[in-house]
Amino acid sequence: MTAAPNPSPTPEPDAVLRRRRFTGAATQLGTEVSINFGSSLAGLLIPIVGSFVVVAARQVVMVAALLPFYRPRRAELTWRRLWPALALGVVLAVMNLAFYESVHLLGLGIAATIEFLGPLGLALATSRRLLDVGCALAAGVGVVLLIGPGSSDAAAIDPWGVALALTAAAAWAGYIVLTRRVAVGLPGLEGLTVASIVSLALLLPFAIATFDASVIDWRVVWLLLGVGVLSSALPYSLDTFILRRITPRLYAIITSFGPVIAAVFGWLVLSETFTPVEVIAIAIVCGAAGTAIATQRDRPKSDLEQTAEGMA
């Protein structure tokens, strides 16, 4: 007699899945606070040590936190599984460097709002609804209000800073897609470890070339460590946990609060001020993003997808 085949794994109960989604969503909200607080500390450091040093320090902290515990196994590093992690490393370097330079040139509140066009664009990329077209236009109007007449210093808005913020936005969209691919393709945080090493290898030569030891003191060291933990080690490590529990759509909805959180930390830590027009502009961008993403319809999941979700 042949042995009976093992039964297919049954999906977890709805209550368990709801709890997993709730913990994923709550964790994502916490990472938004962590990232933006870390970005405000970076805003204090960039005029002292420069963006390359700040971003490289972030990646050093990230690698130090991950490598001892999530060292990739050579046998599992086939090209098919490895290339998304390599691409993620490049995206991380571009995204962080472009964003920090834009923070230096534009301020945290404005830079974070423009950067948010990345996940918003990702959410709208495959949509054909009239409502989404309206939301995209509204977000564009919000950004124009933010950097145009009526802003705190419209004449001083740096076009290079805007270009860098838009570059960070495109890289952020790529980060969301690749992080989910890496989270599924490599176990634990091994994929993120590979990405962090790649990012550090790309940034380190420029950081060394621009490093000035005369400006380093214990205050700068502690701030660099804080930026690394708050903006890289903690949130990026949690992103793989989060994206196994919530969809990119829900991730983007929660992220739509990011510009508001960034503006608050810009005001608290960096003493940034905002005109009524800028406050309205940030609210328009967040409102357009929240509306567009929250009204999207998820396609029905197959039995196989539901089973995989329950096992994640």
For 45-99, what is each residue's pLDDT tens digit?
A: 999 999 999 999 989 988 888 777 766 666 566 666 778 889 999 999 999 999 9
- Of the candidates 246, 229, 226, 249, the one whose C-alpha atom is nearest the C-alpha of residue 237 is 229
- Quickly state the pLDDT bin for 312 (edges 50, 70, 90): very low
Which pLDDT score is estimated for 6?
52
Which pLDDT score is estimated for 276?
86
Rounded to an integer, the average pLDDT of 229-248 is 78
- Quickly state the pLDDT bin for 152 (edges 50, 70, 90): low
Between 41 and 7, whose confidence is greater? 41
Q: Which residue has the tokens 């040590």?
A: 49
CA distances from 118 to 104, 188, 209, 277, 312 (A): 19, 26, 30, 22, 27
Helices 108-115 & 79-106 angle (0-180, nearest 10): 140
Residue 252 DSSP one-character state: H
What is the number of residues in the chain? 312
Is it the case that residue 13 has pLDDT exceeding 70?
Answer: no
Q: Which of 13-22, 48-57, 97-106, 108-117 has the lowest mean pLDDT?
A: 13-22
Is it the case that residue 248 has pLDDT exceeding 80?
Answer: no
- HSE of 178 in the Cβ direction (CA atoms, 13 Å)? 23
Show the tokens assigned to 128. Answer: 């054909």
Rounded to an integer, the average pLDDT of 99-126 is 86
Coil, helix or strand for 63?
helix
Which pLDDT score is estimated for 7?
52
Which pLDDT score is estimated for 1?
44
Supply the mean pLDDT for the chain. Answer: 80
Which pLDDT score is estimated for 98?
95
Most confident of 25-29, 126-130, 264-268: 264-268
Rounded to an integer, the average pLDDT of 165-193 is 81
How far apart, in whole angstroms, are the C-alpha atoms of residue 142 and residue 169? 15
Which pLDDT score is estimated for 150?
54
Helices 14-49 & 303-311 angle (0-180, nearest 10): 60
How far apart, in whole angstroms, are the C-alpha atoms of residue 211 and residue 86? 26
- Quickly state the pLDDT bin for 220 (edges 50, 70, 90): very high
Domain boundaries, given as residue ranges, for the chain: 33-311
Which pLDDT score is estimated for 75?
59
- Of the candidates 305, 302, 310, 312, the one whose C-alpha atom is nearest the C-alpha of residue 10 is 310
Helices (H) and strands (E) in the chain, counts: 14, 0
CB < 8 Å & 24+ apart, contacts of 152-159: 152/273, 152/274, 152/275, 152/278, 157/106, 157/110, 158/105, 158/106
Show the tokens assigned to 307. Answer: 């089973």
Between 148 and 307, whose confidence is greater? 148
Rounded to an integer, the average pLDDT of 107-123 is 86
CA distances from 86 to 148, 171, 242, 282 (A): 38, 14, 21, 34
Between 175 and 82, whose confidence is greater? 175
Dihedral angle computed from the Cα positions of residues 170, 175, 176 and 177, in that order, rounded to the nearest 10 degrees: 90
